[in-house]
Amino acid sequence: MKLNKTEKYIQITSETTDFSDFYTNFTKDFQNTESDNVIIDLLSIKNIEVKNIELFINIAEKHHENGTSFVVISKDLNIDELPDEVNVVPTLIEAIDVIDMEEMQRDLLDM
């Protein structure tokens, strides 16, 4: 896994093509990221399935409860089949946009 931390988010990029390997390492090494905005980049993983994305539901919900964002980057998935609890976008730019929009929403709710 490759880690890129910015002021706004932590980007965790899979360096493997096997989802199972990535997910095992992610859950072991990055359990305490709920206080940060997190982007999970799964573009290197081939044949990713909706059931793989569903594994992130609890993590995404914890982020939401803590006032942070959790976004997954993946292509070639049917958006209608994806769980509403997890933000899935096809590019890093769109992932950053989701974080920006969610931060604006949280700011408006705090007013």
| pLDDT tens profile 23-61 | 999 988 877 787 899 999 999 998 899 999 999 999 999
CATH of residue 12: 3.30.750.24
Residue 19 sits in which domain range?
2-110
Whole-structure pTM value: 0.93
Burial (CB < 10 A; 0-12, 13-18, 19+), residue 21, is middle
Tally of domains within the chain: 1
- Annotate 72-109 with DSSP letters as a single string: EE--S--GGGS-TTSEEESSHHHHHHHHHHHHHHHHHH
Residue 100, pLDDT score: 97
